[in-house]
């Protein structure tokens, strides 16, 4: 081969390679998320597959740690390095914090074309939009005041029906304990302790008290006798966890209930994803009911895919992902697996199991009654600074020897300092 021919061939090959990698970059989304548990990964698979069918590849960026703070720490480093992922799973107030930093993309034209304003509830739009502009695609609504119970363990322990109030719950935990099971499957991580706390605040003070303390951050409510009782009840629950609970991931606690080693778990409805993934059936193998004393109220969080500022070559795939996330058929397929309910109000409930149907109905009812409230534990009641301050107090009290009176004082100070 002549030298000139060789040069031309090499040049052609280089051009072809450049074009093909450009095409690859354009058809790829890099997604940061914390969905690493079995049920979560399966639900995410529905989205990956959907995008794959459109020729878009998925570059996975998982950060284990559940609803804690690990993912946001990783994101901070990426954004500082000017290398943001295409999309990031995010909760509530965190979304607003990132938008304030001018790190997010503008999805307005897609949102208008697809009519998102008409189908996404106000309570979610508050987080999906910043300064009136769409920046995120909400994929679900989880509710966090649920109890998951092993039906056989309850039967063996003589618990004949789901407890309806706090004393009934304690009596049921005692019965399960007396039979040698772990009464309460729990993982001692700050966000999980805070998940219990949300429920106990409502069970103790009712929804108005929850709003005052957790959403309005009212000093009087935070420092009240009712709050002292909340901490006393947290200590009561602490007496029903097993010795190995410290640091345990939430899905391993779900596994204890699934395997018949434990009676109850207080956890958001992503736990249902684990039961379903293990082949278990609602009402046959497991029960789902509201944390006793919180019936009629729903604390919620919504996972949203926040779209970040990326180069032009990645925008086409980014918009395709946002569009896919918001499609009604996808929202049904995804949420059936995930345990949550759709973030759109126009998705039929046919494909959902009994727990899912119940979740959808109770969410709508609570929304009407004014008792649908953002979860503090899951970033929908107050900004991250306050949330983290609450985590610290709750966890220190739950795991240590802090008297409830002191925890109340610490809570007031921590929230005041973080506001």
Residues near ligand GAL (CB under 6 A) are 34-35, 40, 66-67, 91, 142, 250, 270, 301, 303, 378
Least Å from the CB of residue 223 to ligand GAL: 28
Q: How far is CA 76 from CA 79, 94, 149, in A?
A: 5, 12, 38
Strand 28-33 to 286-290 pairing: unpaired
> Which residue number, 67 or 293, has a Cβ lying nearer to ligand GAL?
67
Short-list 70, 82, 80, 81, CA closest to 32: 70
Least distance CB 174 / ligand GAL (angstroms): 29
Give the CA count within 13 Å in the CB-facing half-sphere of 274. 25
At its nearest, how many Å lie between ligand GAL and the CB of residue 95?
Answer: 12
Q: Based on CB atoms, which residue is closest to ligand GAL, 99 or 337?
A: 337
Work out how close the CB of 147 gets to ligand GAL at its nearest, in angstroms, rounded to a whole number: 16
CB of 352 to ligand GAL, least distance (A): 17
- Closer residue to ligand GAL (CB): 142 or 175: 142
- Nearest approach, Cβ of residue 191 and ligand GAL (Å): 7
**Distance in Å, CB of 292 to ligand GAL, minimum:** 22
**CA distances for 58 relative to 19, 38, 302, 328, angstroms:** 19, 18, 22, 21
**Nearest approach, Cβ of residue 340 and ligand GAL (Å):** 7
CB of 157 or CB of 301, closer to ligand GAL: 301
Report the residue number, 34 or 398, with the smaller CB distance to ligand GAL. 34
- Provide, rounded to whole angstroms, the least separation between the CB of residue 335 and ligand GAL: 10
For residues 195 and 297, which CB has a smaller minimum distance to ligand GAL in the complex? Answer: 195
How many alpha carbons lie under 13 Å from residue 355 in its C-beta half-sphere? Answer: 32
Q: Which is nearer to ligand GAL, 89 or 157 (CB)?
A: 89
The values of phi and psi at residue 299, to 5°, are -95, 135
CA 286 to mean position of chain CA atoms: 21
Q: What is the largest CA-CA distance in the chain?
A: 91
* CA–CA separation, 402 and 8 (whole Å): 76
**Residue pair 27/58 in contact by the 8 Å Cβ criterion:** no
- What tokens does 121 get? 């509830």
Neighbour-count burial for 77-86, b at 16+ CB within 10 Å, e otherwise: ebbeeeebbb
User: Measured from the CB atom, is 104 or 253 closer to ligand GAL?
Assistant: 253
Residue nearest to ligand GAL (CB): 67
Cross-sheet strand order for the sheet of 286-290: 182-184, 262-266, 146-150, 286-290
Assess contact for 154 and 288: CB atoms under 8 A. Answer: no
Q: Which is nearer to ligand GAL, 250 or 289 (CB)?
A: 250
- Joined tokens for residue 218: 């009212």
Segments of 125-186 assigned E as strands: 129-130, 133-134, 136-138, 142-143, 146-150, 182-184
């Amino acid at each position: 081969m002549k030298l000139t021919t060789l040069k031309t061939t090499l040049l052609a090959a280089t051009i072809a390679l450049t074009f093909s990698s450009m095409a690859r970059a354009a058809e790829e989304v890099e997604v940061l998320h914390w969905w690493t548990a079995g049920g979560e990964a399966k639900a995410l698979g529905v989205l990956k597959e959907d995008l794959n069918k459109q020729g878009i590849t998925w570059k996975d960026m998982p950060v284990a740690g559940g609803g804690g703070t690990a993912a946001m720490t990783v994101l901070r480093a990426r954004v500082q390095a000017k290398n943001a992922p295409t999309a990031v799973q995010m909760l509530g107030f965190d979304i607003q914090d990132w938008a304030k930093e001018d790190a997010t993309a503008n999805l307005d034209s897609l949102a208008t074309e697809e009519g998102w304003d008409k189908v996404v509830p106000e309570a979610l739009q508050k987080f999906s939009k910043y300064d009136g502009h769409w920046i995120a695609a909400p994929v679900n609504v989880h509710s966090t005041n649920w109890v998951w119970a092993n039906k056989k363990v309850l039967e063996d322990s003589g618990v004949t029906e789901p407890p309806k109030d706090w004393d009934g719950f304690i009596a049921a935990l005692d019965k399960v304990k007396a039979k040698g099971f772990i009464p309460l499957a729990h993982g001692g991580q700050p966000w999980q302790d805070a998940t219990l706390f949300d429920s106990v605040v409502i069970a103790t003070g009712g929804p108005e008290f929850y709003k005052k303390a957790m959403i309005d951050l009212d000093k009087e409510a935070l420092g009240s006798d009712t709050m002292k009782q909340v901490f006393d009840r947290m200590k009561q629950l602490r007496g029903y966890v097993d010795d190995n609970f410290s640091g345990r991931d939430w899905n391993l606690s779900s596994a204890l209930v699934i395997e018949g080693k434990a009676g109850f778990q207080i956890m958001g409805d992503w736990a249902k994803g684990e039961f379903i993934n293990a082949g278990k059936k609602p009402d046959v193998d497991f029960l789902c009911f509201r944390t006793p004393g919180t019936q009629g109220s729903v604390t919620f969080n919504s996972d949203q895919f926040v779209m970040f500022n990326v180069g032009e070559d990645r925008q086409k795939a980014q918009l395709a992902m946002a569009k896919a996330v918001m499609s009604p058929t996808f929202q049904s397929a995804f949420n059936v697996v995930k345990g949550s309910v759709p973030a759109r109000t126009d998705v039929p409930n046919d494909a959902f199991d009994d727990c899912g149907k119940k979740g959808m109905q109770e969410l709508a009812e609570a929304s009407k009654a004014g008792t649908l409230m953002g979860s503090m534990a899951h970033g929908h009641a107050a900004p991250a600074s306050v949330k983290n301050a609450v985590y610290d107090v709750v966890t220190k009290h739950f795991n240590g020897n802090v008297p409830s009176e002191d925890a109340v004082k610490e809570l007031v100070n921590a929230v005041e300092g973080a506001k």
